[in-house]
A and B are shown apart, each in its own frame.
Chain A
């Protein structure tokens, strides 16, 4: 199965550079809106400004699990039929899983930093927080399983874990609608946020979405590059070519 080069073309590199500049500009506007433009909230004061970073990142964390799910299903479907498509699906799955883990970590930490001064506690096991923590734990499990398992079935097992993880996403999303939680209810869609605060939310939502898309793309390309290296090393091993087989420091024998 022939694959194309993992090195992006000049046009792709130019586009990525322009995308990064645009992202940084949007993030700068979002920061200015959040810190200097949006008014302090009537009862919570300045602590409410955490909301402008917490909500965009914690909400975005519920998107890449579906990309991970698609990649995992693609891998399970194509692994015996089309190895190249299976490898591409797997690369997409691990890229989305890592982005999910990073965004859920941000959601948990910024949420706790908001909860401490407002609720007086760092954490409570209400439905939203518990299902969100479960999502984080599932993706920790997914990544550790791929990284540490010596079984030849590790990628297949991880793909199955991702299906369970995706089931948790709609439960997390709906938890504040289905149950009375300590976590605030849906504030954006219920119109409870003053209009003067909305630009700060949406600029940051746009900025972090653009940044996450960029990191997702490059993580995917990195995994594809690692796959090419792993295959070349395996082929060198089979042909007993020690000069080629010895991996350079810091480069794993196979991607994870």
Chain B
């Protein structure tokens, strides 16, 4: 049974695939932000950018 025939017999497969794409991209992107947030936080602490010191931008 090829994928086209499978999909004809089980159209809900397209639905599950579409839902997986949505959840995967949305939560994958959120997870990427979380990872970058932690990395940037570590770098910020390493540079000793204090929470009240502030710095020049641009």
Q: Which A residues are within 8 Å of any B CB, using their own CB?
A: 1-7, 31, 35, 45-47, 49-50, 53-54, 57, 79, 83-84, 86-87, 98, 102, 105-106, 109-110, 113-114, 116-117, 208, 211-212, 214-215, 218-219, 221-222, 225-229, 231-233, 235-236, 244, 247-248, 250-251
Contact check, B33 vs A47: say whether CB atoms are below 8 A apart. no
Chain A's closest residue to B4 (CB) is: A116
Contact check, B25 vs A106: say whether CB atoms are below 8 A apart. yes
Q: Which residues of B contact A105 (CB under 8 A)?
A: 25
A222-B41 Cα distance, complex, nearest whole Å: 9
Contact check, B33 vs A222: say whether CB atoms are below 8 A apart. yes
Chain B's closest residue to A208 (CB) is: B26
Q: Smallest CB–CB gap between B16 and chain A, Å?
A: 9
Contact check, B21 vs A228: say whether CB atoms are below 8 A apart. no
Interface string of B34-47 (1 = CB under 8 A from A): 10110111111011
Q: Give the contacting residue for B26; candidates A31, A54, A102, A248; CB below 8 A.
A: A102
Interface string of B45-58 (1 = CB under 8 A from A): 01101011011111
Question: Which A-B residue pairs are the 8 nearest by beta carbons?
Answer: A83-B58, A2-B54, A5-B51, A87-B57, A251-B43, A110-B18, A113-B18, A50-B18
We find that the number of chain B residues with CB closer than 8 angstroms to chain A is 35
Contacts A98-B29, A235-B55; is A226 near B40 (CB within 8 Å)? yes
A150-B8 Cα distance, complex, nearest whole Å: 50
Contact check, B14 vs A47: say whether CB atoms are below 8 A apart. yes
Contact check, A229 vs B26: say whether CB atoms are below 8 A apart. no
Contact check, B21 vs A247: say whether CB atoms are below 8 A apart. no
Q: Which residues of B contact A214 (CB under 8 A)?
A: 30
Chain B's closest residue to A6 (CB) is: B44
Contact check, B29 vs A102: say whether CB atoms are below 8 A apart. yes
Q: Smallest CB–CB gap between A210 and chain B, Å?
A: 11
Q: Smallest CB–CB gap between A130 and chain B, Å?
A: 21
Q: Which residues of B contact A250 (CB under 8 A)?
A: 39
Chain A's closest residue to B21 (CB) is: A109
Chain B's closest residue to A90 (CB) is: B58
Q: Which residues of A contact B41 (CB under 8 A)?
A: 7, 225
